[in-house]
Amino acid sequence: MIVYPAKFDRAKDGITVTFPDIPEAITCGFSEREAMEYAVDAIITVFTEYIKRRQAIPRASKARGKSMRLVVLPALEEAKIRLYEAMRETGVRKADLARRMGWQKSQVDRLLDLRHRSRLDQIEAALAKLHKRLVVNVEDVPRAAA
Residue-wise pLDDT tens digits, 16-40 = 999 999 999 999 999 999 999 999 9
The answer to whether 8 and 15 are in contact (CB under 8 A) is yes
Residue 70, beta-bridge partner list: 5
Amino acid at site 14: G
What is the model's pLDDT at position 144? 65
Spatial distance between the Cα atoms of 90 and 73, rounded to a whole number of angstroms: 24
Spatial distance between the Cα atoms of 93 and 101, rounded to a whole number of angstroms: 12
User: How is residue 121 annotated by DSSP?
Assistant: H
Q: pTM of the entire structure?
A: 0.92
- The parts of the chain modelled with pLDDT lower than 50 are none
Spatial distance between the Cα atoms of 134 and 1, rounded to a whole number of angstroms: 12
Which runs of consecutive H residues, i.e. helices, occur in 26-119?
Answer: 32-52, 75-90, 94-101, 105-112
Amino acid at site 3: V
What is the model's pLDDT at position 145? 54
Helix pair 75-90, 32-52: axis angle to 10 deg = 20
Spatial distance between the Cα atoms of 79 and 21, rounded to a whole number of angstroms: 20
The answer to whether 51 and 114 are in contact (CB under 8 A) is yes
The answer to whether 45 and 110 are in contact (CB under 8 A) is no
What is the model's pLDDT at position 88? 98
> What is the SS3 assignment for 110?
helix
